[in-house]
Amino acid sequence: MDSTMHGTVINKDRMFDRAGQNGYSRLLSDQTFLNKDTDDEFVCYGYKADQCKEGLFLFLVFLTGGLILLLLQWRPQMVCYLRKRRCSLNQADTILLQDTYKQYSLAFVNEKSFSRPETLLPSNHGHEGSDYESPSDSSSLTTQGELKFRYFDHQHVRYIWDRGGHLFSKLKDLSEGTKCVMIQESFHGLTAKEQRQKQVVYGENTIEVEVKSYWRLFIEEVMNPFYVFQIASITLWLCDQYYYYAACILFISLVSVGISLYETKRQSVVLHDMVTTKAQTIGVCRGEEIYEEVPTGNLVPGDVITIPQHGCVMTCDAVLITGTCIVNESMLTGESVPVTKTPLTPQEDEEVFSPDVHKRHTLFSGTHILQTRFYGNSKVKAVVVRTGFRTAKGELVRAILFPKPLDFKFYRDAMKFILFLGCMAALGMTYSIIVYVKQGVYPMRILVRVLDIITIIVPPALPAAMTVGTVFAQSRLKKKGIYCISPPRINFCGRLDVFCFDKTGTLTEDGLDMWGVLPIEDQGFCGAVEDPSRLEVGPFITCMATCHSLTMIDGELSGDPLDLIMFNSTKWVLDEPGRDTSKFDTIMPTVVRPCTKDTFSSPENPFEVGIIRQFTFSSSVQRMSVITRTLSEDGMEVYCKGAPEKIASLCLQDTVPHEFQDILHRYTIQGYRVIAVAYKKLDPKLTWHQAQRISRDKVEFDMNFLGMIVLQNKLKQKTKPVIHKLKEAKLRTVMVTGDMIQTAISVARNCGMVPPKDRVIIVEASPPDAHNPASIKWVTAETPDEGTDQYTDSDYTEDVHLDLDNPHKMQNFHFAVSGHSFGVLTTHFPEYIPRVVVKGTVFARMSPDQKLQLIEDLQNIGYNVGMCGDGANDCEALKAAHAGISLSEAEASVAAPFTSRIPNIECVLQAMREGRAALVTSFGCFKYMALYSFIQFVSVLILYTFDANLADMQFLYVDLVITTSVAVLMGYSSSYDKLVPQRPPGSLVKPSNLLSIISQVLLVIVFQIAAFLYLHFQPWYKPVKKDLNADNTYCWETSVIFLVSTYQYIASAFVFSKGPPFRQPIYKNVPFLLTLCVLFAFSTYMLMLPFSPILKFFAVMPLGERTVEFRSVLLALSVGFIFAACLLEYLIMDVKCTQKCLESCSNCCGQGNNKDHYKEIQNEIQLSDWPPVGQVTYAALNEPHIQIEEDFFRSQGEILVN
């Protein structure tokens, strides 16, 4: 029986005795927190059915004609407020959830029961010291033979009622709190009954993305407030006898809905196909070496599965306990390099399993098992730890299905502006009511007219027009090989302030070039050897040939690029002999041998080395090692390679040359990748079985230092030009890498992140120990010229800008921080984090979690952050950044919002250019739609004053022919070729934007009133006769206002469709420009060469009967408006003088103090004496210690003394 399921039932009296008064309070509580202090934190409230409220609600539905149901659709919390009453969580049948973004959702509590098992559910509140607690606190017994538990599902995560904690908590599995020893020793397979019982709790092992039917999608789409507004508007127009106009808008709306449904369905199908794994079966152990083939959907945590010899696609997260696997994880990471997975071997008894820490032993759902390796007749087995949406793949899919709301100022301001338009509509409605009441118009007609104003001032097409730029930008990015699974992120690309880059595979080439090796001879380095294959057969070259994770796949050697370069340079041969392993103690997976004449000429005793055991590379220990056995020799050896400083610390100190640090520094400062190697002979008594179970810390000590391998990691061809362009555009660039800090600094200098004249200050933070508190040492990094004479002395003296009054002061400096120091700063010096990330350019030896932390720290001080990486170790950071770009050959992966098939960082420039173009287009479309509304608003109010209105076809021409075509084609302009320092505006309510719109509206009012007054003073003019039953649409007032306003719509589109510096010039958008010209020509044709059928179609008075002078003046007024609008926008609003005046006014009014926090930090650093270079800052005192970096300051001619 599986020990994880063992438990006893605790009765209610004992439960309350143990829980005490606090537990009783929680039991009666009607709210609690879920996932507290995490990104998925929720506040949940309990509700249950209320018959009185339900009856009152039905009455409200009848009273409102069902309209109140729309409110429930838009505001889920109203379901609870109107139909249910608050209650304690243990009585609730409905849970109201509020997330950290103040968004509400509903979940319904269910109950499940099954026959009473001998083993029960795993506890969700296990106590320290126990592997699994009694499940009785997570369940209740309804009868002696039946077990019942309460739960609800939210966003594909299950929460169960924890009777011990008196709250709902997330259902846990073996990935949390399970000891590694337990996984190895306690899991021997579940019986079919146990599996079925667990499946009731955990559900099916599937990741199913629902593909909704067209009918369901249609209903959900129509319920959208935008389309509800459209339906209400169409209904109003039908009541007002605008039949043609209502019919056209209805047709366009249906087409729009159809396109939207098709695109939504297509994306759902694509995502469904991308994440769904084909149904298959897999072998499950039933104990005592009994195996049964079961569907993968039936798997539950605790199952022991066998991995097929020829591979499969994983459908769960499982930890290997026997055998090895070669895995392709590109689906999750975007990295297509095969990864070797080895069995979990506990390092200590209390070690707790974690999929992140032990990922080298974990097979993740969605990854493809290419091959398995097993010994003799044994099987490759793994223990299932997570299933369904709880897997790593499931979490990534959930992040796509339920993305965090994008807190973009543009969208917030858009809603504010729409509210402002609503206020303007209220004023217009008030004015109209006053005018119509004075005219004695019937109330029903007044109501229709007043409601019509809302459809004019708040255009229904506004939301669609705002997305036009994003749609075109996404299409252009796709043509360039950049795929986006989150289109709103494109606008974020337009506002980025800082871009973070991974180093290896992103800034530098994936592959490394072998520069040479530095072997040890007579306890000293004997000089560089460029061709390692020339070395005599011995420990050094044997280490290079064995210490790797390479494997043969389809006859081709594959694995980590570094391992490939290292092994190929030896010119040895790797064989995977399969089952013919008798000469290697019967169980040996891999053999290597030198490719020499002597090796093949003595078949009886060839020099062959068998790899007995691998300790895979881990970033936490910064090394990998192997246990080997050489044929015809007694005993085994351990070979180890990794970070030089780590390897040296594990070696006998008398084997490490005294010049080790100097030689290492000389190569790393020039950007070389340096790896140290070591070995030692193991106890001859060590058997193969012991070698398979021994922990790495019992063999990786007191080794002999062998030397160092020097590899060259060249910059990609496009890296330096792209970094240069980003720096020209005043964008911060930051390197976030797992490599050594000196190598990272060198690459940062070579690619241009750190200019040659700038200094780098290494922040060396140390945790507290028994004698000293935590401390920071501020050390200036050596520049290449100091070790290699790369620069002249004159160059060097210009590197640092010292203040003579304060020699500490350096204006142009960059921080370099290691992952270890970053962790110490976060824990012991949190007040320094904002300053360090503002001036930090190089972050080295960073773990994936620390990369994520850095992104969040930058965001917390106001930066809009971009991140570019290869996807392997950067998934969390890529998804957390405002714009994350994964360099991958896959068309789309779930690793990041953007996936680029361009294998270099040039995609960053393209994404940012398109982001800026899309953002500016969104601004332009919004301003145009706002001004279009105001033009029509002004026209209608003027006409209402004289009991007139625009005709049906006039509305149709303006709204469809002019506005729709212009708004769509406005976004067709492609991005500008160059990235400029200037940023696109990020706020619609910025003074310059508001003044631009207001000034254009005033201009519209002046010219429309001028045209009307000109008409009024004509000798032949007669005011329209008032009709209390209908509007006058065929009159001179309507004709003049309509014709003049058409020019105003065209002019507004022209002035708000700006080109450089973010978009191509307007003349390059040929369809848009051609449309404007045709519209202008048609309006002029109607005005100057009136053709009777056309005038009748548009309900325009017979202009041909009036003088040419009259028509010419109207044309002059219209053209004058075009010139005035252009003059106002381009020569007044866009000039720097006006912008500065507006900023000054904004500052005087207190509106300009919303400066980003990072800019304030930059100013503080600029005006202060910080950082205290050459000194030590202690956490306890937080004051510099008198320890000066004398060499540096002596080189400057001064020594600072505190």
Q: Are 627 and 589 in contact (CB under 8 A)?
A: no
* Residue for token pair 């005219």: 439
SS3 811: coil
Q: Are 40 and 101 in contact (CB under 8 A)?
A: no
Q: What is the CA radius of gyration of the chain?
A: 36
Q: Are 380 and 372 in contact (CB under 8 A)?
A: yes
Q: How far apart are CA 511 and CA 1079, in angstroms?
A: 57
* Residue for token pair 């730890």: 385
Q: How far apart are CA 375 and CA 589, in angstroms?
A: 8
CB atoms within 10 A of CB 415: 10
Sign for the CA dihedral angle at 1133, 1138, 1140, 1145 comes to negative
User: Torsion over CA of 686, 692, 693 and 696, rounded to 10 degrees?
Assistant: 80
The angle subtended at Cα 451 by Cα 446 and Cα 457, nearest 5°, is 125
Q: How far apart are CA 203 and CA 297, in angstroms?
A: 9
Q: Are 697 and 347 in contact (CB under 8 A)?
A: yes
Residues 6+ apart with CB under 8 A from 995: 1133, 1142
Burial label for 523, CB within 10 Å (0-12, 13-18, 19+), is exposed
Does 502 qualify as catalytic in the annotation? yes
Residues in the chain, overall count = 1202
Q: 717 φ, ψ to 5°?
A: -60, -35
Six token digits for residue 474: 């996404």
Bridge partners for 299 per DSSP:
none
Q: What's the Cα-to-Cα distance from 968 to each of 207, 360, 471, 1006, rounded to whole Å?
A: 38, 51, 10, 28
Six token digits for residue 758: 């700038």
Residues 6+ apart with CB under 8 A from 417: 926, 930, 988, 989
Nearest in space to 850 (alpha carbons), one of 814, 815, 895, 818: 818
Task: Indicate the pairing of strand 304-306 with strand 281-285.
Answer: antiparallel
Longest dimension (CA), the chain: 122
Q: Are 103 and 112 in contact (CB under 8 A)?
A: no
Bridge partners for 843 per DSSP:
736, 817
Straight-line distance from the first to the last Cα atom of the chain, in angstroms, rounded to the nearest whole number:
70
Q: What's the Cα-to-Cα distance from 341 to each of 205, 220, 362, 712, 1102, rounded to whole Å?
A: 22, 45, 7, 28, 85
Omega of the bond leading into 1060 within 30 degrees of 0 (cis): no
DSSP state of 1105: G
Burial label for 604, CB within 10 Å (0-12, 13-18, 19+), is exposed
Task: Indicate the pairing of strand 1176-1178 with strand 898-900.
Answer: unpaired
Q: Are 839 and 815 in contact (CB under 8 A)?
A: yes
Choice among 502, 739, 758, 1031 that is catalytic: 502
Q: How far apart are CA 742 and CA 1103, in angstroms?
A: 81
Q: How far apart are CA 419 and CA 425, in angstroms?
A: 10
Q: How far apart are CA 657 and CA 632, in angstroms?
A: 32
Q: How far apart are CA 170 and CA 162, in angstroms?
A: 9
Angle, helices 991-1016 vs 1108-1126, to 10°: value is 170
| Active site positions, annotated | 502
